[in-house]
Amino acid sequence: MAIMDILTVPDPRLKRKAKPVTEIEAVQSFIDDLLQTMYHTDDGIGLAATQVGSEHAIVVIDISEERNQPLVLINPQITESSGEFIGEEGCLSIPGYRSKVKRFESVTVSYLDRQGQAQTIHSDDFLAIVLQHEIDHLHGKVFIEHLSRLKQEMALKKVRKFTA
């Protein structure tokens, strides 16, 4: 297993859209690396493959306090959404910056699990926010794109200071 570098804004690779995974067996070691990279961070609770420069449509999430309950989503898609929620978000690709973001309060996501079995997950709590955040990455979108232009510029300035 390997710890991979996490891309930070404004790296253009973060704008790439992920491609569906067709060979589940071929991405198993990559999933291990993605999990290890997420767990290596101090506060990472989710990581999309696009954040490490991969075009695989894979997301890993672990919101457990013990950080020992990984959720692996391959080719995830939001199939239902409702309500509205505004909460504070941060991102491993935008270190040192947090802001309030409007999201759906409730989502249903269809995906393949690590064994390639079709699954559906429904959430109307914190996991719903994390799912939307990570799936946005697979669409080439970072959370600051939900903010005003001024707040986006503030975020970029903060990242430049943080990564300098």
Query: Is residue 133 marked as binding?
Result: yes
Residue 130, both tokens:
């994390």
The set of catalytic residues is 134
Q: Please state, in angstroms and rounded to a whole number, the distance separating the CA atoms of residues 20 and 37.
A: 21
Question: What is d(CA 3, CA 34) in angstroms, rounded to the nearest whole number?
Answer: 8
- Cα–Cα distance between 106 and 157 in angstroms, integer? 32
Q: In angstroms, rounded to a whole number, what is the distance separating the alpha carbons of residues 139 and 18? A: 6
Kind and range of the H or E run holding 131: helix 126-138
Helix (H, G, I), strand (E, B) or coil at 135: helix
Q: Torsion-angle region of residue 67: left (phi > 0), alpha (psi -120 to 50) or beta?
A: left
Tell whether omega for the bond before 70 is within 30 degrees of 0, i.e. cis. Answer: no
Instruction: Extract the annotated binding site for Fe cation.
Output: 91, 133, 137
Binding-site residue numbers are 91, 133, 137
